[in-house]
Amino acid sequence: MTPQMFFVETSIKEQRRDLCRWVERLVDEGHRVFIFTGSTVSAQQLDGLLWSFSKPSFIPHRIVTHAEKASMAMEPVLIGLDLSGRGRCGALVCDDTPDLEACTAFEIIVHFVPMDDPNKREASRRLWAKAKSRGMVVRHVPMASLARTGRSTTGRSLSP
């Protein structure tokens, strides 16, 4: 299956909350999600945020440090620094920019574009071009449109 890569506009302030919203939507759709982050500190921060960002729901998750542990994990969401530890996850949500080659094992990839950071915005443009040249399906998601439309990643309406 050809990977779909979503380029989601956000702000630096809202990026992690948007990440949690995307994770919640993907889990609601039945996907197993790997959150890629660049440091142990970031993994711990995301762990805390997933516990507290939404009062009415809880997203079962865990931080994984080794590939063998990830493959046995029962939680639908894994947080880690190494994409080889993705377990059985088919969706990748990026807190940091991973190597594009390592992303091809995922069906869905979500990359955030902080519109208020010119350097990260330009890096995202280069990533878009690279992903497109490798045959990935690239999709632009304007700022906050997922929350406004109530649409899933596949375009279907999600029930409340």
Residue listed under structure tokens 């920019």 = 97
Which pLDDT score, from 0 to 100, does residue 156 have?
41
Mean pLDDT of the chain: 86
> CA separation (Å) from 156 to 79, 81, 136?
26, 31, 21
Q: Which region among 32-41, 56-65, 101-110 has the lowest average model confidence (pLDDT)?
A: 56-65
Which pLDDT score, from 0 to 100, does residue 145 have?
63
Q: Which of 19, 85, 79 is CA-nearest to residue 43?
A: 79
- Is pLDDT of 40 > 70? yes
**Nearest-angstrom CA–CA distance, 121 and 112:** 9
Domains and CATH numbers, the chain: 4-149 (3.40.50.10110)
Q: Which of 59, 1, 55 is CA-nearest to residue 29?
A: 59
| pTM for the whole structure | 0.87
